Chains A and B, each alone.
Chain A
Amino acid sequence: MDGEKGQSDLFDSILLADERFRGEGYQEGFERGAHQGLQNGRRHGASHGARLYSEISFYYGFAITWKCLLQRNVDAKSRKRVKVLEFLLRLIQNFPLDDLQSSRLQEDTENLRTKFRQVCSMLSVPADFKDYMKTAEDISF
């Protein structure tokens, strides 16, 4: 009986050693992977964040300036334009930039682009400032 027990202990310890060694390796690998993932994610995030904010900030600067320039005019056409610009500015301010995993993000970006094009058309200026419209990329992994 003792012998059998001893043998089963031996097998247990062999199996445990197997798991223990694997677990130790896993732990070290995990820490390293987490570090790498953070770095890689961060670089990709920076690239996406820079692009998206660049586009939206451009729209904002463009719209707020036109609003300031047109506000002095009292004619109906200018007032209508100011209203449309204010709508675009509100859209930008409510843009869900804090929630990157939001399913709305892509949709809202497209919506913003469409509205910007409409604003340009209303102001009779070409909307080809940059190739923003060409890129429609995912905002998360």
Chain B
Amino acid sequence: MSWVKAMSSSGEDVFDENADELGLLSKEWASNMKKRIRDGYVDGIDAGEEASLQLGFNLGFKEGAKQTMAVSRLRGIVSAISCWCQTEHPENPIPASVIDLLQQVTQHEEQIAERIRNTLTNPPPSVSDISENMEDLEVEQTDPGCCGGKCKESGCCKGAAKMDLDHPRQPSQLCSGSTGCSTSSDEGALNALLQRCMDLVSEMGLPMELLGHIQELKDM
């Protein structure tokens, strides 16, 4: 009766092979669908970035402008005073108070520009970057369990990506460091420089009209 045994065992083999094939098909399906999601995701990222880049640029442009406008105009004012001293009184050196103020204003402007440059070259890590890294790490770990044949649900393989999207941040919340926004200490330093400039104008007997132009920088 050994042939019966052989038949039954070969029958089992055939059945197992079918099961394997189903499993394989199922795996292949899941992997294909996962690939579709990823392909779509990659295309979507490119399209999304393309669509919002100019909008972000315009928004940032105004923010950057706002940060340098007052201090740069003040540097223009003090530079003009310095040049004027030189041309009006070429026999005298430029007053030390003017030179010192010009240096302070230039330094302050440089600090702001430096901060903006730093933000550009070393963007602060955002929550989305961190979760993306976590996602990258997790992909390898969850792959076998997640898409091992049981899972055909669309939500399964995208948990990590969803995590970030569940908490989209509003533009108004991005200001903390994303464009090197001005701080209250900046404002304090600028106000002190504006005051020094106004004192200088009074001390040197320069036209009072200038005070108005300096004063208006406080509200910029």
Contacts and interface: CB of A to CB of B under 8 A. Distances in A.
Interface of A: 17-18, 20-55, 57-66, 68-69, 71-72, 97, 100-101, 123-125, 129, 139-141
Given A29-B44, A39-B126, A140 B84 contact: no
A50 B79 contact: no
Interface of B: 32-33, 36-77, 79-81, 83-84, 86-87, 109, 112-113, 116-117, 119-120, 123, 126, 128, 154, 158, 161-162, 164-165, 168-169, 171, 174, 178-180, 206-207, 209-210, 213
Nearest to B162: A28
A29 B87 contact: no
Contact of A48 (B55, B64, B174, B210): B64
B46 to A, nearest CB: 6
A140 B119 CA distance: 19
B37 A42 contact: no
Nearest to B155: A24
Given A22-B39, A39-B178, A32 B44 contact: yes
Given A29-B44, A33-B45, A34-B48, A41 B53 contact: yes
Contact of B80 (A18, A24, A47, A65): A65
Give the 6 A-B residue pairs with the shortest CB-CB distance, closest first.
Answer: A29-B44, A61-B76, A33-B48, A41-B56, A45-B60, A25-B40
Contact of B57 (A25, A58, A124, A140): A140
Contacts of B66: 49, 53
A61 B212 CA distance: 12
A141 B48 contact: no
B159 to A, nearest CB: 11
